[in-house]
Amino acid sequence: MRNLINRLDAIRHPFPGIQVLGLISSALFITSLILWPAVGETGDQSDQTMPIPALAKTLETNQKLAPQAEPFVIRAERVQAGDSLSRLFIRQHLKPQLLHALTQAEQSNRRISRLNVGQTIEFRYSGETLVELAVIQSPFQQTVATHAEGGWSIEQRQRDPEIYIEHAHTTIDSSLFIAGARAGLPDKVIMELADIYGHVIDFVHEIRKGDQFTVIFEKHYLDGEFIEYGNILATEFVNSGESFLAVRYTDGQGDTGYYDEKGVSLRKAFLRAPLNFRRISSNFSHSRKHPVTGVPRPHRGTDYAAPTGTPVYASGDGKIVHRGAKGGYGKTVVMKHGTTVTTLYAHLSRYGKFRIGQQVKQGETIGYVGSTGLSTGPHLHYEFIFNGVHRNPRTILDKLPKAKTLPQTEIKRFEHLAELLIASLNAQRNNAELAFQTINTPE
Ligand SMILES: [Zn+2]
């Protein structure tokens, strides 16, 4: 409860660029998520909190605030290559005996003398006396050595971010990133969105003008200052009129994933685009002309234009059955996934470390984009073959190996969380559409 109060308390901090009203509703939103009684729950349900990612962590971790009361004079050092603590002590004109006493206080789990290049070390003085030495690991984590009468003591100090929940809704005109930017979303959140849907939507070929997405995500603050974007809690992507919901959920085992409204994981047996979306131009491209002859032809695969050397991933778990030149395909890898699915990756510049006969996991690199064989420019030619026929895996998802579904023991808690988040997504989308209509309706 104390964390909740902290969070509500933090509303009074000035947050540049964010509406306070939004913050209040966000804080209430979190409160409602935590305190809301589960629908249809029986009395023997003992869970007091729901495992909302990050929130649960926040509730569990004992918040230990850095003592801000003492007005330290801080002289910060940035660790350069070749620096050691003794060098920093010399730069600070401190006595070597002080350092010796400090290293004596070190224990295996509380070390301070092992520095990394780029780290910030704060020397905190009271007048001319060094009272604290802090190794700053992150805005949320520091190792602090405190000097008192009895010598040095070393401790880890951890701070939890103040978490605020924000919404965004946008419609795609030309590219996912432009739409995201218009909604005030950084690329990091967009990439995460693409990762969440990486098994159901091909973000290179299937994104259409008019597609929409709504997203609920965290922002992390410390003392009223924005530090970083947190997790996406829930999102809806409407692609060619088809809605895909994703709710972030951490199960009793501590595994976190994204699930649809029925509790089915969005991680499917196959990736839609077998390479890193970040490396591909996000422009729409639906060319079906043969890259060499220029003649449109029935194309039995998908082409992804990408820079030479872009890693190509195994789209699913499986075995390498071919690795070598294959006529117009150039350097090619073929994989077998069980008895029904074969995938093919062509025009590679070179192969990954896996050889014929080896088992490979989904997402492992089996080759690199190139332009070998009948190809005018670097691209990946990818084929997905189901029972001997080229298919779009999106249309035969029910025939492919089933994705993980939350077990009965989890489903109630999941549905309770999903219901709230989906209601919030819907409200956000409806508000956005209402605002759009209001703006665009002539009086
Ligand atoms: Zn092709």
- Angle of the 20-35 helix axis to the 2-9 helix axis, nearest 10: 170
Question: For 394-428, what is each residue's pLDDT tens digit?
Answer: 888 888 888 889 999 999 999 999 999 999 999 98
Q: Which amino acid is at 361?
A: K
What separation in Å is there between the alpha carbon of 290 and the centre of ligand 1?
A: 7
**pLDDT of 284:** 38
Percent of the chain with pLDDT over 70: 77
How far apart are the C-alpha atoms of 127 and 73, rounded to whole Å?
A: 7
Write down the pTM of the prediction.
Answer: 0.71
Mean of the pLDDT values across residues 324-331?
95
**pLDDT of 147:** 87
pLDDT at residue 37 greater than cutoff 80? no
How far apart are the C-alpha atoms of 393 and 384, rounded to whole Å?
A: 7
pLDDT at residue 62 greater than cutoff 60? no
What separation in Å is there between the alpha carbon of 242 and the centre of ligand 1?
A: 26
**Which of the two residues, 355 and 284, has the higher pLDDT score?**
355
**Which of the two residues, 101 and 385, has the higher pLDDT score?**
385
pLDDT at residue 41 greater than cutoff 70? no
Question: For 232-252, what is each residue's pLDDT tens digit?
Answer: 999 999 999 999 999 999 999
Confidence of residue 196 (pLDDT cuts 50, 70, 90): very high
Question: How many C-beta atoms surround the C-beta of residue 95 within 10 A?
Answer: 10
Confidence of residue 148 (pLDDT cuts 50, 70, 90): confident
What separation in Å is there between the alpha carbon of 32 and the centre of ligand 1?
A: 51
**pLDDT of 441:** 60
The mean of the pLDDT values for the chain is: 81
**pLDDT of 53:** 43
What separation in Å is there between the alpha carbon of 174 and the centre of ligand 1?
A: 24
pLDDT at residue 74 greater than cutoff 80? yes
3-state secondary structure the chain: CHHHHHHHHHHHCCCCCCCHHHHHHHHHHHHHHHHCCCCCCCCCCCCCCCCCCCHHHHHHCCCCCCCCCCCCEEEEEECCCCCCHHHHHHHCCCCHHHHHHHHHCCECCECCCCCCCCCEEEEEEECCEEEEEEEEEECCEEEEEEEECCEEEEEEEECCCEEEEEEEEEECCCCHHHHHHHCCCCHHHHHHHHHHCCCCCCCCCCCCCCCEEEEEEEEEEECCEEEEEEEEEEEEEEECCEEEEEEEEECCCCCEEEECCCCEECCCCCCCCCECHHHCCCCCCCCCECCCCCCECCCCCEEEECCCCCEEECCCCEEEEEEEECHHHCEEEEEEECCCEEEEEEEECEECCCCCCCEECCCCEEEECECCCCCCCCEEEEEEEECCEECCHHHHHHHCCCCCECCHHHHHHHHHHHHHHHHHHHHHHHHHHHHHHHHHCCC
What separation in Å is there between the alpha carbon of 381 and the centre of ligand 1?
A: 4
Question: For 207-232, what is each residue's pLDDT tens digit?
Answer: 899 999 999 999 999 988 999 999 99
How far apart are the C-alpha atoms of 208 and 189, rounded to whole Å?
A: 20
Q: Do the domains 1-63+162-267+409-443 and 73-158 sit in the same CATH topology, yes or no? A: yes
Asked if 418 contacts 259 with a C-beta cutoff of 8 angstroms, the reply is: yes
CATH of domain 73-158: 3.10.450.350
Confidence of residue 440 (pLDDT cuts 50, 70, 90): low
**pLDDT of 115:** 87
**pLDDT of 14:** 32
What separation in Å is there between the alpha carbon of 301 and the centre of ligand 1?
A: 6
Closest CA to 178 of 138, 139, 211: 211
What separation in Å is there between the alpha carbon of 397 and the centre of ligand 1?
A: 23
Burial (CB count within 10 angstroms: exposed 0-12, middle 13-18, buried 19+), residue 104: exposed
CATH architecture of 1-63+162-267+409-443: Roll (3.10)
Q: Which fold has domain 270-402?
A: Glucose Permease (Domain IIA) (2.70.70)
Mean of the pLDDT values across residues 301-306?
89
pLDDT at residue 27 greater than cutoff 50? no
What separation in Å is there between the alpha carbon of 193 and the centre of ligand 1?
A: 27
What separation in Å is there between the alpha carbon of 375 and the centre of ligand 1?
A: 8
Each domain of the chain, given as residue ranges in start order, spans 1-63+162-267+409-443, 73-158, 270-402
pLDDT at residue 5 greater than cutoff 80? no
How many residues are listed for the chain in this entry?
Answer: 443
What separation in Å is there between the alpha carbon of 203 and the centre of ligand 1?
A: 17
**pLDDT of 280:** 67
156 contact partners, CB below 8 Å, separation of at least 6: 110, 141, 142, 143, 144
**pLDDT of 167:** 92
Question: For 93-134, what is each residue's pLDDT tens digit?
Answer: 998 888 888 888 887 667 787 888 999 999 999 988 899 999
